[in-house]
Structure 1
């Protein structure tokens, strides 16, 4: 593989994969029921052992 082939791959498929990952992460964060899970996770450092 030469530089040009890798550059074309990065410009097309890698960009598409990163975009799909980003959209999936946003959907995961904004899904119904995620607020409760986020609030519980935010309280972890404040809990006393």
Structure 2
């Protein structure tokens, strides 16, 4: 039963702090300067061959 209490205390304090720091890190990574161009390019993938189907070589890459 003591192991459960110790793990519970860790999860309530340091575990919460660790997950909060991870969350802030993810938010900073997503909204970092320069990421807009990469996200815009990724969002436009379905529209790259809007006027014609992709050739066999282009479809593999």
Scaled by the length of structure 1, what TM-score is found? 0.81
Q: Which structure carries more helix by proportion? A: 1
Name stretches of at least 5 consecutive residues in structure 1 with no aligned partner.
none
Higher relative contact order (CA 8 A, sep 6+): 1
Distance 1:12 1:37 in 2: 36
- Root mean square deviation of aligned Cα: 1.6
Bigger radius of gyration, 1 or 2?
A: 2
Scaled by the length of structure 2, what TM-score is found? 0.68
For residue 40 of structure 1, report the CA deviation from its aligned partner. Answer: 1.7
Name stretches of at least 5 consecutive residues in structure 2 with no aligned partner.
49-53
For residue 11 of structure 1, report the CA deviation from its aligned partner. Answer: 0.4
